[in-house]
């Protein structure tokens, strides 16, 4: 009998979850509470309750080749870092191409999910939905929760005494849409995550003065990396992953921090944190140092207290006549519709096996998709999670015993606690490439570079030295996509095409040097010995 799967949410995670159900011959029904697909990436002029909200100018900070779904490359001409409208265009193309829309019931909220009375034997769930005020009950064989984790604002007003007396306006960053209302105003932005950085930069283009307040500072990374390539394209290759294994965390931190400080000295710019770069989710911002050097953004420490008009900082300085305060203080997540102790979230913490499966159920028929904070794009990770979950639901993949899953969860939790500074934003962190490989190994689709070296050396070269793009997980095994090889070999062209819009004469630009040939030969030796160390 075909299993019926409930997909909650039609954002990027929900869309790929529907596709994965179809690939496994499962029967998905996706409930989306809003009137459209795209989740967070669909811009709306006013924030809506219970749905993520973005500002008009948001440009994604993960690049197109690294964020695409693994069997559907983003068109050549799309920019590497896309505006939210372009991202929506891609999601709509994906949904249309794989005919996903007919499985989505828009304007339908999932109100509750409970274990069916026969859950212990069937693993089924009772789901109640609501559309136009009408409630409907359903029974499903499996649930894929794709409801996002950037919906509910974390607004720590209790940490800011006096805010109740403050006569200016204050908001959470999710309420910010554009800078117009802040023309000639004096504005404080609290928090130096990616929202805080983006808001400070944008508001400072019109405001009289912006103060960016941080309780511990941050290392600020550029989107545009070596030779102008996107940051994630440069960082995430198997070659670099291998090098990483031969370096200590101290060495990696020293290397990265030196690079960050070469761009602008973090101490001189008042941003330097006490912790090392690997201990915090990165803040990506190309413009912040420009705004600081122009005096439009001034860095400040934590706010100790607000008065009716002023902000008093922990270093004793006072900024007077503040008009507006933005709390760019992040998000909390929960599943208000899920009435089950297995999905209980406490302080942004939830024990899930490899961030996907609750380990304590008699039947594993529920999975969380996209409940991760990767240092990189979330979309290909959600996709691999959904590929794995649907195979578990179908009985094609087996999970370890409850005790083994709990032991794995405990190890991961300890690793997170040792690595990251304590903060509610660091409870679901994953490393992009390592986590992709970990998920891929569950469904046996991690590419074997050594084997390709003998069967397809050109591909092996790009797999090892090139950016580790999601197509790598469609080369072999179940879910193999015939276009994967071509997509990998043409990825560099798709990266360069949207920037090289003024093409120069070939003869003038291509310098063929004997040194580059020598370097290639040397690299072949490097690849062979590297692969030897990793795989043999």
Q: Where do contacts with ligand NAP occur on this chain (CB under 6 A)?
A: 58-61, 150, 156, 159, 173, 190-196, 198, 214-216, 280-281, 302, 328-331, 373, 423, 425
CA distances from 53 to 148, 200, 458, 463, 534 (A): 11, 18, 43, 36, 43
CB of 129 to ligand NAP, least distance (A): 28
Residues 142-171 within binding reach of ligand FAD (CB under 6 A): 146-148, 150
CB of 512 to ligand FAD, least distance (A): 38
**Residue 350 interacting with ligand FAD (CB under 6 A):** no
**Residue 86 interacting with ligand FAD (CB under 6 A):** no
Q: Which of 18, 58, 200, 484 binds ligand FAD (CB under 6 A)?
A: 58
CB of 104 to ligand NAP, least distance (A): 24
**Residue 370 interacting with ligand FAD (CB under 6 A):** yes
Residues 6+ apart with CB under 8 A from 250: none
Tokens 């973005």 belong to 54
Tokens 């009950």 belong to 137
3-state class of 531 per DSSP? helix
Q: Which of ligand FAD, ligand NAP, none does residue 329 bind (CB under 5 to 8 Å by kind)?
A: ligand NAP
479 φψ region: left (φ > 0), alpha (ψ -120 to 50), beta (else): left
CA distances from 504 to 78, 377, 499, 510 (A): 20, 32, 12, 10
Rounded to 5 degrees, what are φ and ψ at 139? -120, 130
Q: Which of 18, 60, 367, 530 binds ligand FAD (CB under 6 A)?
A: 60
Rounded to 5 degrees, what are φ and ψ at 522? -60, -40
Q: Which of ligand FAD, ligand NAP, none does residue 392 bind (CB under 5 to 8 Å by kind)?
A: none
Q: Which of ligand FAD, ligand NAP, none does residue 156 bind (CB under 5 to 8 Å by kind)?
A: ligand NAP
The Cα 494–Cα 20 span in angstroms is 26
Closer of 378 and 384 to ligand FAD (Cβ): 378
- State the DSSP H helix or E strand holding residue 134, giving kind and residue range, or none if neither: strand 134-140
The Cα 250–Cα 196 span in angstroms is 28
Closer of 150 and 185 to ligand FAD (Cβ): 150
CB of 202 to ligand NAP, least distance (A): 11
Q: Which of 3, 6, 13, 319 binds ligand FAD (CB under 6 A)?
A: 13
Stretch that binds ligand FAD, among 141-149, 418-426, 429-437, 488-496 (CB under 6 A): 141-149
The Cα 379–Cα 401 span in angstroms is 28
Q: Which of ligand NAP, ligand FAD, none does residue 402 bind (CB under 5 to 8 Å by kind)?
A: none
- State the DSSP H helix or E strand holding residue 384, giving kind and residue range, or none if neither: helix 379-394
Across the beta sheet with 324-327, the strand order is 169-172, 324-327, 186-190, 209-213, 297-300
CB of 331 to ligand NAP, least distance (A): 6
Rounded to 5 degrees, what are φ and ψ at 185? -95, 165
10 Å Cβ neighbour count for 414? 10
Closer of 12 and 472 to ligand FAD (Cβ): 12
The Cα 12–Cα 32 span in angstroms is 12
* Secondary structure string (H, E, C) spanning 403-441: HHHHHHHHHHHHHHHHHCCCCHHHCCEEEHHHHHHHHHH
Closer of 127 and 372 to ligand NAP (Cβ): 372
Residues 6+ apart with CB under 8 A from 258: none
269 and 119 in contact (C-beta within 8 Å)?
no
Closer of 328 and 453 to ligand FAD (Cβ): 328
Closer of 150 and 474 to ligand FAD (Cβ): 150
CB of 312 to ligand NAP, least distance (A): 15
Q: Which of ligand NAP, ligand FAD, none does residue 109 bind (CB under 5 to 8 Å by kind)?
A: ligand FAD
Closer of 204 and 382 to ligand FAD (Cβ): 382
Q: Which of ligand NAP, ligand FAD, none does residue 196 bind (CB under 5 to 8 Å by kind)?
A: ligand NAP
Handedness of CA 501, 56, 470, 428 (dihedral sign): positive
Closer of 53 and 472 to ligand FAD (Cβ): 53
The Cα 486–Cα 471 span in angstroms is 9
Closer of 18 and 379 to ligand NAP (Cβ): 379
- Residues engaged in binding ligand FAD (CB under 6 A): 8-14, 31-34, 39-41, 51-52, 54, 58, 60-62, 67, 109-110, 146-148, 150, 195, 337, 370, 377-378
């Amino acid at each position: 009998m075909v299993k019926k799967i409930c997909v909650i949410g039609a954002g990027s995670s929900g869309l790929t979850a529907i596709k994965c159900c179809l690939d496994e011959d499962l029967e998905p029904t996706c409930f989306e509470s809003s009137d459209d697909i795209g989740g967070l990436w669909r811009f709306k002029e006013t924030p809506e309750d219970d749905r993520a909200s973005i500002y008009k100018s948001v440009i994604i900070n993960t690049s197109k080749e690294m964020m695409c779904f693994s069997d559907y490359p983003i068109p050549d001409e799309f920019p590497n870092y896309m505006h939210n409208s372009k991202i929506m265009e891609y999601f709509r193309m994906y949904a249309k191409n794989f005919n996903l829309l007919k499985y989505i019931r828009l304007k339908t909220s999932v109100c509750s999910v409970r274990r069916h009375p026969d859950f212990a034997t069937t693993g089924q769930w009772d789901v109640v939905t609501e559309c136009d005020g009408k409630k409907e009950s359903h029974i499903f064989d499996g649930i894929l929760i794709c409801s996002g984790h950037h919906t509910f604002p974390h607004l720590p007003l209790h940490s800011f005494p006096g805010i109740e007396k403050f006569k200016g306006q204050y908001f959470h960053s999710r309420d910010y849409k554009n800078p117009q209302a802040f023309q000639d105003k004096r504005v404080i932005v609290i928090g130096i995550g990616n929202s805080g950085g983006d808001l400070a930069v944008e508001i400072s283009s019109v405001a009289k003065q912006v103060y960016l307040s941080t309780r511990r500072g941050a290392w600020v990374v550029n989107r545009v990396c070596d030779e102008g390539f996107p940051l994630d394209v440069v960082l995430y290759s198997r070659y670099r992953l291998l090098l990483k294994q031969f370096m200590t965390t101290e060495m990696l931190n020293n290397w990265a921090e030196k690079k960050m400080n070469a761009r602008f000295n973090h101490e001189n710019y008042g941003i330097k944190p006490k912790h090392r770069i690997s201990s915090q989710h990165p803040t990506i911002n190309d413009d912040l140092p420009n705004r600081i050097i122009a005096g439009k953004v001034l860095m400040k420490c934590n706010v100790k207290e607000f008065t009716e008009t002023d902000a008093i900082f922990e270093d004793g300085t006072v900024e007077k006549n503040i008009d507006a305060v933005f709390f760019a203080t992040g998000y909390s997540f929960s599943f208000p519709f899920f009435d089950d102790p297995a999905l209980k979230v406490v302080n942004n913490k939830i024990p899930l096996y490899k961030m996907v499966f609750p380990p304590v159920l008699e039947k594993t028929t529920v999975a969380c998709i996209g409940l991760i904070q990767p240092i990189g794009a979330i979309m290909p990770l959600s996709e691999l999670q959904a590929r794995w979950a649907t195979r578990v639901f179908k009985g094609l993949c087996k999970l370890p015993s409850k005790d083994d899953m709990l032991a794995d969860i405990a190890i991961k939790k300890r690793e997170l606690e040792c690595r990251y500074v304590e903060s509610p934003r660091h409870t679901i962190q994953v490393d992009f490439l390592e986590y992709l490989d970990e998920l891929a190994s569950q469904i046996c689709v991690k590419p074997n570079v050594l084997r390709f070296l003998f069967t397809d050396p050109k591909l092996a070269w790009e797999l090892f030295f090139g950016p580790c793009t999601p197509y790598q997980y469609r080369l072999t095994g179940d879910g193999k996509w015939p276009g994967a090889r071509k997509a990998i070999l043409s990825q560099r062209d798709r990266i360069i095409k949207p920037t090289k819009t003024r093409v120069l004469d070939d003869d003038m630009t291509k310098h063929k040097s004997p040194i580059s040939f020598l370097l290639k030969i040397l690299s072949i030796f490097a690849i062979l010995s590297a692969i030897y160390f990793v795989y043999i």
